Structure 1
Amino acid sequence: MKQETLTLFELNALVRQSLEQCLPDEYWIQAELSDVRSNATGHCYLEFVQKDPRSNNLIAKARGTVWSNVYRLLKPYFEEATGQLFASGIKVLVKVTVQFHELYGYTLTVQDIDPTYTLGDMARRRREILRQLEEEGVLTLNKELEMPVLPQRIAVISSATAAGYGDFCHQLQYNSRGFFFYTELFSALMQGNQVEESVLAALDCINHRLDDFDVVVIIRGGGATSDLSGFDTYLLAAACAQFPLPIITGIGHERDDTVLDSVAHTRVKTPTAAAELLISRMDEAADQLEYLSARLQEGASAFLEREYRRLSSCQSRIPSLVVRRLSDARLRLLTLHKDLMQSSTVMLSRQRHRLELLQQRISDASPDKLLSRGYSITLKNGIPVTDVSCISPGDEITTRLHKGELTSIVNRKSNNRK
């Protein structure tokens, strides 16, 4: 018997009928979005994929469609609830119906979405990133940095056209106490798929000029809350956690912290709050200076008062001290005078006795004394003769005795000595 043949259309029609009979209901499925795009008519076309958790290889794939009447409600609802763009790369829990078209084939048509599943997956990814940073020992490094006492030189990472950046600068410029702040913008994309790459480039530029800044402020304002996924990446979190300057984040959302918020030194809600934080830091420093100035003035006044009293006391004691010092000095002078007189008398007596002894020795050694003992002095031309060789026969010599002199003519001389 010849087998009946079918056209492709007829086969596909059978497939469609079979699927409609076997899978007539709506089904909740877990999948990852891929290749999400919308057209001018408002319809959204995408792919649902599932990956092996170990190898990350695709193990299932199906084409998906969100018709415009559903998409215009589903997309803002999902993004508002999750703070996450309805875009490729996120995991979702969606209610679908199974469709098969003879021309377009197998399609899952999205009827509804559960944001809590995506929120759970996002929270899980955040926890994984934070756990990895903690295991690497870098999670709290930026928080451990000391915030400068005067954070006046500020590197700002933001979009130049962001309303939050303008609010931040206005708040700093017109602070009530007139503090000066120097800000320099390092422009970056703060929404979209290039957030991570753009912010990392800005951080790298700042890192080459660390001595020029006190803090880094990452702010974002005016954008959709659904554009926060770029701040939940490992690379950006690791770079901020290990950055050598304190980082303040104010990226304009209040519900949940991003991974970047978790590793930054300080997290605030808005760019304006970031400016107020810096101003409050300056306020604290100014108040401390005023307090120290007041204490210095009080201390100086108290010190001067004590010194004035001490000087007054010294001044009142000067007359009596002078009288006492003069009296003591006079007594010392009298004592010294007495001691000097006694010392002088003893010294003079000693020197007189010494002179008397010298006089006696001189007297005993005088020529007259020797002559009185029978000695005589022979003179030639008034010069004492001590050597017979100095006299020649015929010379006239004088002999001086104790009493009187004799004049003689030398007849002969002898050199003999006994």
Structure 2
Amino acid sequence: MDDGFDGGPTGNAPEFTVSEISGAVKRVIEGEFSHIRIRGEVGRVSRPRSGHVYLDLKDDRAVLSGVIWKGRAQALATQPEEGMEVVATGRLTTFHGQSKYQIVIEEIAPAGVGALMAMLEKRKAQLAAEGLFAPERKKALPYLPEVIGVVTSPSGAVIRDILHRLRDRFPRKVVVWPVAVQGAKCALEVAAAIEGFNAMTPGGSLPRPDLLIVARGGGSLEDLWGFNEEIVARAAAASGIPLISAVGHETDTTLIDFVADRRAPTPTAAAELAVPVRHELLAWTGEQEARLARAMSSGLEQRGQRLRDLSRALPRGDALVGAARQRFDLWEARLPEALRRAVSVKQLRLSEAAGSLRPGLLRRGVEVDRRRLGAAAERLEPALSRRIEVARERLARRADGLRLRALEADLARQRERLDGVGRRLSEVGQRDLAERARRLEALDRVRETLGYKATLQRGYAVVRDGQTVVTGKAAAEAAQALELEFADGRVRIGGTPRRTKKRDETPEQGTLL
């Protein structure tokens, strides 16, 4: 009796191959869902080098894979981004290589033009028309800033990433202005931080940054909306300090990215844009030093070789002095004979001159010269005395004149030095006064910004009971009279303390509610 467990076929169930089952499922799904529209949130988005786009469509309970082929991806008016609410039009199909189904998307569009997207596009067009996105307005970043100002949350991972990257590349001084990076206060605090950094006085107790970084981690459109506010974009555009925008991940784009001087895809990349790599600079310096040493060595070698080449072209020393040595030997041989002939000639001339000389004639000449010399000696002493006296008087007059002129010259030099010191003191005083005036103006601007008067300009009021500020309902009900201070003046409201009114009564005139 066959019990059906001998390994042979059992029953009449048909057998299918894996490919047959996969093809059957594919035909069923493509036949039933050949054209569908699906609404969902874009999750993971991948763009490989092939040009196709792979993404996930999700809601709160399920995830559907999708693909946009390269030809359609390039023609799409709206590129899918993570977190975007979209309506995708296409067809369902299967990918038998992984036993999964997916949607081949032919068209993708936002899920209705929402209020946020419409507002963002309108605001972007307005700012672009004003020229705030123009490339010529963007300032160049400093090559190596001394102080870097960072506008971000002090408790998030962003500031740690920036500080860690700066420490690795080139340590710099960092001043952090803590702000809220999402929510209602985000835009006001970020704009105030940018303006506050620009209002700092260079060289003050708190150094004014040379570069600003506005940074935040990734998030949804709603999370990043504070950086799409007009007040933030205008503050970034008006910044006199070069500014780097590092808001969100690489695919996130906000209005501050368009007006910033540079946009970084991540906060870490912003730190890389801010400073160079110190080790690379040191390596480059060492390389330049080595190149200089090689160039000097090569130059010395070339000049030495040239000197040796020129020395080979010069005649030898023996050849230069040989002819002169030969002439010297010739003249040395002829010298004794020439001396003897010269002595003979001199002796002949002496004997001829001596023949005309007589002792008596010589004595008469000597006597005449002696008398002439004696007469000259008698006249010489008085003449010398007169010359000495005249010279002494002239020397005394010149000495007096020289002392007076020296005193006048010294006085003139001292007067010039005194004038120079006075001018320098005046310039230093003027610069000090100007610096103090600038610091006073900056402090006054900070006072105006932080004072309650600025709050009154936004529609608030201060309630006082006499000299006391009323901050609660109970104090207001107990007050006899209240004084309201608005931005343009004060108003006094008289009345009596509020009494408990019955259900059908209406408040009397003058009663404070």
The structure whose Rg is larger is: 1
Query: Could you state the TM-score of these two structures normalised by the residue count of structure 1?
Result: 0.45
- Of Structure 1 and Structure 2, the greater strand share is in 1
- Of Structure 1 and Structure 2, the greater helix share is in 2
* Larger RCO (CA within 8 A; separation ≥ 6): 1
Query: Could you state the TM-score of these two structures normalised by the residue count of structure 2?
Result: 0.38
